[in-house]
Amino acid sequence: MILVTGGAGYIGSHVVLSLREMGYEVVVLDDLSRGHEDLIFSPNFVECDIRDREAVDKAFTRFPVEAVLHFAARSLVGESMREPEAYYDVNVNGTLSLLSVMRDRGVNALVFSSSAAVYGEPKRTPISEEDELRPTNVYGETKLFIESMLRRYHEAYGLNSVSLRYFNAAGADPEGRSGEDHDPETHLIPLVLDVALGRRKEITIFGTDYPTPDGSCIRDYIHVTDLASAHVLALKSLTQGEARCSAYNLGNGMGYSVKEVIDVARRVTGKTIPASAGPRRPGDPAVLVASSDRAQKNLGWQRAHPGLEEIVATAWEWHRRRFSR
């Protein structure tokens, strides 16, 4: 059985769907502080805080866990700069609690939800796994520290792990079963779609003076269903018995600016979507675009939904059903 922490969240719920479609038995562990009960796609559910070692251990007693996919974390860049202690506590201490239980229980396979934030402000694009790791915000620092923890656990205790460094997860399940629903919402595409639905008056472009062609940040948007398929492949690679502690970028390989995303959303929705300029957000790099060549070569990963228009279209279908009044 596969334990998915944070499995009631945006990415975790999509991964649970993919795992079950591939025939895996899944148990979801989530404290529902930011996840949703209606996005739990497994009959096996444990509600607990990842920092509660005793509660996590009880989940391993209740279910025959063979491997773990770890998503439970705080993940807001701006919030991490205002509340660093909370991010070190949940992300780092929570992961330590999980790893301690896994070690005691003899579970030695973990797929970790890392982030492109570990790279900070890149010196070149696209970013490869060999590039310098210099996060510019607390969120990225916690992800990088956890990757270091996994390496040490591999060396000392034989824990095998794959860290997947996502770029901008976006879109929604093509069948409409899951999608983004954050509170607060900070991701660009759902914020833009909120404007299209009339839930917000306008979208704010944070920074129009970056060294990019149109002055707005450039990001690599990867469909959440493609992310989910990469997790299944990473899990398979770990359960095939090969000892490893590795990291892979997951992205589209193409960058789109904030202004380009807004323009695509206007075409998809047929709405005007007013936009205004705002100041830069602390810790936001100008450009983040991934090279995913290693994941394609070593995991056999292929993107099924690479186009920005398709990403926005699936998000729009979900958004309309979820939030229309």
- pLDDT tens-digit readout, 52-87: 999 999 999 999 999 999 999 999 888 999 999 999
Q: Give the pairing type, strands 109-115 and 67-70.
A: parallel
pLDDT for position 125: 87
Active-site residue, 221 included = no
pLDDT for position 287: 85
Buried b (16+ CB within 10 A) or exposed e, 233-268: bbbebbeeeeeebbbbbbbbbebbbbbbbbebbbeb
pLDDT tens, residue by residue, 258-283: 999 999 999 999 999 999 999 997 76
Q: How many CA atoms lie within 13 A of 8 on its CB side?
A: 19
Tokens of 58: 């009880």
* Distance, CA of 308 to CA of 180 (rounded, Å): 16
**How far lies 295's CA from each of 27, 132, 171, 233, 291, in Å?**
26, 18, 21, 9, 9
> From edge to edge, which strands make up the β-sheet containing 287-288?
256-257, 218-219, 287-288
Sign of CA dihedral 216, 222, 223, 224: negative
Q: What is the residue-averaged pLDDT of the chain?
A: 95
The answer to whether the CB of 102 falls within 8 A of the CB of 37 is no
The answer to whether the CB of 312 falls within 8 A of the CB of 149 is no
pLDDT for position 277: 97
pLDDT surpassing 90 at residue 241: no
- Assigned fold of 188-219+253-323: UDP-galactose 4-epimerase; domain 1 (3.90.25)
**How far lies 15's CA from each of 152, 225, 273, in Å?**
26, 8, 31
- Homologous superfamily (CATH) of 2-169+223-250 is NAD(P)-binding Rossmann-like Domain (3.40.50.720)
pLDDT for position 9: 97
Return the percentage of the chain with pLDDT > 90, whole number.
90
pLDDT tens, residue by residue, 156-183: 999 999 999 998 999 999 999 999 999 9
pLDDT tens, residue by residue, 194-229: 999 999 999 999 999 999 999 999 999 999 999 999
pLDDT for position 136: 87
What element of type H or E holds 2?
Answer: strand 2-5
Q: Is the pTM of this model over 0.85?
A: yes
pLDDT for position 283: 65
| Domain assignments of the chain as residue spans, ordered by start | 2-169+223-250, 188-219+253-323
Region 17-29: mean pLDDT is 98
pLDDT for position 325: 59
Q: Which of 10, 87, 119, 139 is catalytic?
A: 139
